[in-house]
Amino acid sequence: MTTTDDAKTQIDETVKSNDVVLYMKGSKAMPQCGFSSRVAGVLNYMGVDYKDVDVLADNDIRQGIKDYSDWPTIPQLYVKGEFVGGCDIITEMTLSGELDKLFEQNGVTYDKDAADKIREANG
């Protein structure tokens, strides 16, 4: 069990040492809620290499990430240390092409064709 300060330090280190981090319920292979599943599904489909952190495994991390971002819900996506958003924001950004731009600006590798297919399927 981590303390609140330990959780904040751990979150800060994780977010800053990985290009893309998804704080979620469950794992990228086995999401434990629909919202986490949707965001992980988008990242997986687009071939993004990201670190997944299961907030269900540690209550201090689960609360700590909400305090860290000042955002009340899980999942939370971080790119290059910056909080991007939760499920609704990531869904909107994927459909608008903003997520592609964010990845390009930050040198994050992703499958552009897969991103286009998501937009075609939801257009």
Q: Count the Cβ atoms, other than its own, within 10 Å of residue 41.
A: 13
Number of domains into which the chain is organized:
1
CATH number at residue 52: 3.40.30.10
57 Cβ contact list (under 8 Å, min separation 6): none
Q: Binding site, residues?
A: 33
In which band, very low, low, confident or very high, does the pLDDT at 2 lie, cut at 50, 70 and 90?
low
The tens digit of pLDDT for each residue in 11-24 reads 999 999 999 999 99
In which band, very low, low, confident or very high, does the pLDDT at 123 lie, cut at 50, 70 and 90?
confident
123 Cβ contact list (under 8 Å, min separation 6): 95
Whether 105 and 47 have beta carbons less than 8 Å apart is answered as no
Nearest to 84 by CA among 37, 115, 75: 75
Residues of the domain holding 75: 4-122
Q: Binding site for [2Fe-2S] cluster, residues?
A: 33
The tens digit of pLDDT for each residue in 78-87 reads 999 999 999 9
Q: How many CA atoms lie within 13 A of 20 on its CB side?
A: 21
Order of all β-strands in the sheet with 82-85: 51-54, 20-24, 76-79, 82-85
